[in-house]
Amino acid sequence: MQETGDASAAAMTELAELIATINADADHPRWKFAGEQDRASYREFTLHSLHHALQFWLEADPARPRFNRWFTPTKKLLGDNPDTVYHGTVIDPTRSYRLRGNIADAGYTSFTVELGTAGGHMSQRLGHTLNDDQFEVDAAGNYELVVSADDPGDGPNWLRLDPDAGSITTRHYFEWKRCAALDPSLHVPLSIVPIDDPGPPAVPDDDATAANIRRAITFLRSVTVDWGHNPLPPGAIPWVSAEPNVFTNPPAHDGNLGIGYAATDNVYRSARWLLEPDEALVIRGRFPRCRFANIVLFNNHMQTLPYDRRRVSLNRVQTTYEPDGSFRMVLAHHDPGVANWLDTRGLPHGTMFWRFLLPEEPIADLTTELVAFDDVGS
């Protein structure tokens, strides 16, 4: 802290220093960046993350929480999804809240508590989750939940808080022809208020402003310069393939409880693509009976590629099927002139990420074939 006692000025200096550190971090060997495009992508991701840090953490007040939109077409991080609207808020596990909302015709709605996130830290574990099969919704789609450490004892509409709970993420899935995240008129009603009114907040003094800035710094650091120094060994997460262009097909769902911002109701599959300019990857499979399913293309930083002008994801409604009900998707740098083209935007490498939400049957194996681009239509 500066000798003048100007704590907020010191915090601003720390933010500027962190941005300079991130800029240099683009050259760190742990990223295994292949060239300047990869490094530029990291810097762009940093600004998306700073956007979120300022929106979510700068004025975060667990005594008076409010929901913020996690992702938009211009703010992406930590595995966004074009078919989903996410909101998040900070909470204090010693307090109790009343959460109200409406299903808004979503195919699935859930609330997930994240642990260890107080002060802007990244979540490492999931706490309790409620989905719309587990709480009561009235005929108009309205619901009311109690969010607290202690069971209120008046039915299933209780979201439990563990002692180290720090935040809540909401998920609202829409399986539409047009990606739900692109619809500016889509509104998911949500509110959360403390049951015991804490009164109005104090005007932030210099120390409080410094604390606000440092929460944003903590989050930004956690997803940039602190990220990736202790990678999990290959095979540690069964559904993450260590081999490019090939999916693992594990027989069991591990629940995702050890992944900080995951959804416990989702079964995931993930693999890197690695394509030369004259290659394409053909993916075959069959959707299970489930609440929702899609594939999304991510860059190096778990950001979806631009979905406003390119087809970088496919849900079940958007997919064209083979006569036997299976699908054939084609990952390629250019339009191959066939159905179910997934556009890499010319990126030679990235991540293919599947979500299968509450599957009611085993998921059929996803098979792949690397082919010459000119042979895709044959």
Q: Over the stretch 175-196, which tens digit does the pLDDT of each residue have? A: 999 999 999 999 999 999 999 9
Are 194 and 270 within one domain?
no
What pLDDT shows up at residue 235?
A: 84
The tens digit of pLDDT for each residue in 121-154 reads: 998 789 999 999 999 999 999 999 999 999 999 8
Residues 34 and 183 in one domain: yes
Residue 60 lies in a domain: yes
One domain, residues 38 and 175? yes
pLDDT the model gives residue 4 = 57
Residue 2: predicted pLDDT? 45
C-alpha pair distances (Å), 179 with each of 18, 74, 202, 326, 359: 35, 14, 41, 22, 21
**Looking at the structure, do residues 33 and 142 belong to the same domain, yes or no?**
yes
Residue 290 belongs to some domain of the structure? yes
Kindly give the parts of the chain with pLDDT less than 50.
Answer: 1-2
Instruction: Tell me the two tokens of residue 92.
Output: 């204090």
Closest by Cα among 257, 290, 283 to 367: 283
> Is residue 188 a part of any domain in this protein?
yes
Which of 191, 222, 253 is where one domain is finished? 222
Q: Are residues 163 and 76 in the same domain?
A: yes
Q: Does residue 229 sit within a domain?
A: no
Query: By the 8 A CB rule, do 117 and 90 touch?
Result: yes
Q: Are residues 160 and 12 in the same domain?
A: yes
In a domain, 237, yes or no: no
User: Do 168 and 105 belong together in one domain?
Assistant: yes
Q: Residue 196 has which token pair?
A: 């015991």
Q: pTM score, two decimals?
A: 0.95
CA distance 45 to 47: 5
Residue 297 lies in a domain: yes
Residue 241 lies in a domain: no
Q: How far apart are the first and last CA of the chain?
A: 67
What is the domain count for the chain?
2
Cα gap 53→70, rounded to integer Å: 10
Whether residue 351 sits in one domain with residue 217: no
Sheet holding 279-285, edge to edge: 341-343, 327-332, 279-285, 367-372
Could you report the per-residue pLDDT of 208-259, keeping only the tens digit for each?
A: 999 999 999 999 999 999 999 998 888 889 999 999 999 999 988 877 876 7
- Are 298 and 172 in a shared domain? no
Q: How far apart are CA 51 and CA 61, in angstroms?
A: 18
Q: What is the CA radius of gyration of the chain?
A: 22
Q: State whether 39 and 95 are in the same domain.
A: yes
Provide the domain limits for residue 12: 7-222
What local confidence, expressed as pLDDT, does residue 1 receive?
A: 42
Instruction: Find residue 273's DSSP bridge partners.
Output: 350
Examine the domain organization and report whether 164 and 280 are in the same domain: no
CA distance 147 to 226: 31
* Sheet containing 158-160, strands listed edge to edge, beginning at the edge strand earlier in sequence: 158-160, 142-148, 97-102, 190-194
φ/ψ region of 301 (left if φ > 0, alpha if ψ in -120 to 50, else beta) reads alpha
Residues 173 and 307 in one domain: no
The CATH number of residue 280's host domain is 2.60.120.1600
**Backbone CA torsion sign across 268, 274, 277, 282:** negative
